A and B are shown apart, each in its own frame.
Chain A
């Protein structure tokens, strides 16, 4: 554990010292703040449903909603933080020296992951805090439930980005060149974010030709959930929409008995429990593979 923390501490100060990190940080902050600001403007002008949480999922038409920034830029942050974590040390010949000290190989992986997660957490909660501050200034004061939902939203976002961080770390172990692992990371991100949903519907359409059948819709939905982006989007939409109570298709007859009132937070979490487990699973699988591969790897200069 001391090894993990030592590595994490060193990596954290490394991140804070690089231009790459501050560049990314600046982009995310500016984009996120712009989205939040325009969202507030829209909400104030529209004077319809003035809800604090709406700020994070609504769009004014000028910019996509705040949620889309975490959905699309989040993974990029994760990949950017992790794609060179191990192979850079290999290329610079620091890995062999590092591992000749009394530190386990998994401590190195853990420490680097931990520092990445710390950076992600700082970025996400920092930006949520600033956006909330802006909202409160224009009179959108959150109640306790909304505040709790915001925190869960933040935590889910960190978990989602951590998954991408773990994946890019695995790639940095698999590939010797930092450019290869970066390209692989961004390719996987693009595949799951843009192509997976159409592929899922294509596969479903081929397996079940009847376009109106419930099975086909369920199959399509379940297939698309292989993509972490879909899982994340569904999960945070439930958290940010207190009235949401279904994720899977329901029949109209079932819908008759539904009272359209907001759910308490715990009920919402209950609804997306399997999504959370799946996102945690993604992190764990990447880690397991990282350990297995890294421990067996030849460390040479």
Chain B
């Protein structure tokens, strides 16, 4: 199966600023790909290039088999885009806004009315169908945006920060809609800087910094890459920990490095030596309330990359 998105050395420059630098991205059909990176990393620019709304400076790209610059209309029929700063026509109701999208996409009015009613129900806006968008909260607009994207039944969804600035209930709702879309065979490119959410739904993630994709793969894969395989991290909770305890643990065989913040000790070692560490703590007269091996979360992978980036 051909990838849904493929870019080859895609580059976009604004004067001296390189917004996207030789991006080689591949997103498979039917997967949720998380696009991670801080603000200004070039995520939105990339999405705009994928849609043909921005012209690349150099490089090639293919989206659903189309060149976005040559066949923009064919592509835009198949792609749903949720912009970061979502705007609706304030004087129009939710239904009227969606009807306009339906007309632009050539959906027959009979179909559109039905689909809009159902979609607004799905996103939890059935009470606000005929309310003007100017009365909507940020979260409601974001839900309406999801309905707007789903209305054209796209093969590929480009979602730029879909969950920023909305309440946890709304986030859960939107993430559910995204996962449901994958189950219906849609491909999703999800751009975000909210790592926990990306971790929850994405099959693969790419980390984007200063216009470059510095890593791409599943979260487990990225985690291993960062931890460099040989290190093992243990966390211990000792309420009465002192600097002296750090030294005691440091003398345990196999321990590489000990650090402490408050009552939490983070111990890097060559293998899983939780037993030896626990024994050392308890036999020195300290209280050990908990000891666990550390699991790498996405934010850690992410910050590791940034540490590397800022050093270089």
Contacts and interface: CB of A to CB of B under 8 A. Distances in A.
Interface of A: 2-3, 6-7, 9-10, 14, 17-18, 89, 92-104, 298-301
Contacts of A18: 91
Contacts of B105: 101-102
Q: How large is the interface on B (under 10, 10 to 19, 20 to 34, 35 or more residues)?
A: 20 to 34
Interface string B80-117: 11011111111100000000110111100000000000
Contacts of A104: 73
B91 A100 contact: no
A15 B166 CA distance: 33
A185 B79 CA distance: 37
A104 B77 CA distance: 12
Contact of A6 (B80, B86, B91, B104): B104
Contacts of B293: none
7 closest Cβ pairs, A-B complex:
A93-B87, A100-B81, A301-B85, A101-B104, A94-B87, A102-B76, A102-B73
A26 B86 CA distance: 35
Given A100-B53, A301-B84, A92 B103 contact: no
A100 B79 contact: yes
Contact of B87 (A14, A97, A102): A97
Interface of B: 44, 48, 51, 53-54, 72-74, 76-77, 79-81, 83-91, 100-101, 103-106, 148, 152
Given A97-B83, A102-B72, A103-B76, 13 more contacts: A6-B100, A14-B89, A14-B91, A18-B91, A92-B87, A93-B87, A96-B83, A96-B87, A100-B80, A101-B76, A101-B152, A102-B76, A103-B73
A98 B89 CA distance: 10
Contact of B85 (A10, A17, A89, A93): A93
27 contacts: A6-B100, A7-B104, A10-B103, A92-B87, A92-B90, A93-B85, A93-B86, A94-B87, A95-B87, A96-B53, A96-B87, A97-B81, A97-B87, A100-B51, A100-B79, A101-B76, A101-B105, A102-B73, A102-B76, A102-B106, A103-B76, A299-B48, A300-B48, A300-B54, A301-B83, A301-B84, A301-B87
Contacts of B76: 100-103
Contacts of B148: 97
Nearest to B87: A93
A99 B87 CA distance: 12
B91 A94 contact: no
B106 A2 contact: yes
Nearest to B99: A10
